[in-house]
Amino acid sequence: MKFKYIMVSMILCLLLIAPAQTAQAAVPTAEFPEGWPQGPGVEAESAIIMEASTGTILYEKNSHEELYPASITKIMTTLLALNNSSLNDTVTFSHDAVFSVGTSDAKLGGIDEGDKLTMEQCLYGVMLASANDVSYAVAEHVGGSLSKFVDMMNEEAEKLGCENTHFTNASGLPDADHYTTAYDMALISQEALKNPVFRQIAQTMVYTIPADEYCPEPRARANHHEMKSNGKYPYDGWIGGKTGWTASAGYTLVTFAHKNNMDLICVIMKSSQTGQYTDTKALLDYGFQNFKRMNLSEAEVRPAEQESADNTLRLGDFMKEQPLLGINPEDYIVIPGPAGWDQIEAVFIPDAQDDETAGSMRYTYNGYYVGTGRVVLNTENAYQFQASTNLNRNNSAHGILKINPWIIAAAAVLAVIIVVVIILLFRRPRRRRRGRKLRF
């Protein structure tokens, strides 16, 4: 085991010695690179398309403009409830939950003070019926009070990287201090989509709360999103979303769609009743028709049966049959459909956060972020790690780490030192060691 970590340390030393590049912003959203597909014009004040697994931004229009979200706020409410409660929890409706919501606001219906629902029933009411009274009750149950739940919302938003978001309530009711951006809502939605229960709720067409002691009639509530299969604007691949509207916010819409092995998130803010859907369709079509999602473990080229170029060192050759590093096979990049590896570069970013992760490879297309691959210690599913500090793939130098002669010499000296240390360790008498153990 010690030998394994010594070898990993040596490889990381080589990567660190090689010329480094300055890390760019995680996901640029304003300037797309040369060769990036031209996006459609949209009516909405603000819009964005994000690929969910990588966070790659495929299209954006004013995506950092602070606007009122209306009921798409409830995506955050549902996310926090799923992360901080059980679906079997009993939610009791307080006086404020029932009576602080305006008479013209969206409600579940049939709810009085003291009534009870399960958390599961509540979350379907929040997402499908967009019920403000239910959102209030969920916030009180999870946070202990509405104000404490709002604090949780803002803390979660900050944790997710939302820099232009501030919530004041759990439902999206109008408030001058309740705002977000299309980009921030995409980040929140990206996190929510990681939860399989959220995905199930978001794409449910109709949910029925059975009759109980509080309400003698079953309450069937349909999903308001009109891109569902039986909606006014059905979209092939639709897997859910959330609607919103207030007079000050206009129409807001978040849509999730799956096609061509990609999950796309589309956020529309400050649009018209019809425009929110025509814009969403145009943007989803643009994303699915112009981009492809590639699994890094399948896309990388394994060591070829050819001689290395002068002054280069293949990590595959160096590690022989037991590679100590690999790219996590669950990681992807998203690039324009016609693009090839000659346009993709990767930079190794060392960040050993745990015993399994040595860092990451940050992939770019003509300088634009398209995904990240986690560099992990050898596992059963890891494939042969082939990357350089500045990897530029082409037909003549696939998978080669370019190192100048001085670096090779330094590596050789380091290797000799490590071998000597290992020999000394194994030749030491097997007796109780005094003092502190030598660690690597």
pLDDT digits (tens, 9 = 90+) for 317-329: 333 444 556 677 7
pLDDT band, residue 155 (cuts 50/70/90): very high
130 is catalytic: yes
Percent of the chain residues past pLDDT 70, beyond the cut: 70
Catalytic residue among 61, 74, 107, 281: 74
CATH number at residue 263: 3.40.710.10
Catalytic residue among 71, 171, 297, 388: 71
Do both 316 and 399 map to the same domain?
A: yes
> Average pLDDT for residues 127-147, to the nearest whole number?
96
Query: Residue 200 pLDDT > 90, yes or no?
Result: yes
Q: How many domains does the chain have?
A: 2
Do both 275 and 226 map to the same domain?
A: yes
pLDDT band, residue 396 (cuts 50/70/90): very low
Highest mean pLDDT (candidates 6-15, 100-109, 281-290, 401-410): 281-290
Residue 436 located in a structural domain: no
Do both 288 and 317 map to the same domain?
A: no
229 is catalytic: no
86 is catalytic: no
Structure-model confidence comparison of residues 338 and 241, the more confident one: 241
pTM of the model: 0.78
Residue 32 located in a structural domain: no
Q: Which residue range is the domain that position 393 belongs to?
A: 309-427
Do both 335 and 227 map to the same domain?
A: no
pLDDT at 343: 82
Query: Residue 211 pLDDT > 60, yes or no?
Result: yes
Per-residue pLDDT of 260-304, as tens digits, reads 999 999 999 999 999 999 999 999 999 999 999 988 876 544 333
Residue 4 located in a structural domain: no
> Average pLDDT for residues 383-401, to the nearest whole number?
38
Nearest to 289 by CA among 111, 109, 59: 59
Do both 237 and 375 map to the same domain?
A: no
Query: Residue 394 pLDDT > 50, yes or no?
Result: no
pLDDT at 311: 37
Structure-model confidence comparison of residues 344 and 143, the more confident one: 143
For residue 242, say whether it is annotated as part of any ligand binding site.
yes
Per-residue pLDDT of 55-81, as tens digits, reads 999 999 999 999 999 999 999 999 999
Catalytic residue among 130, 189, 271, 360: 130
pLDDT band, residue 100 (cuts 50/70/90): confident
Query: Residue 196 pLDDT > 60, yes or no?
Result: yes
For residue 395, how many other CB atoms are within 10 A of its CB? Answer: 8
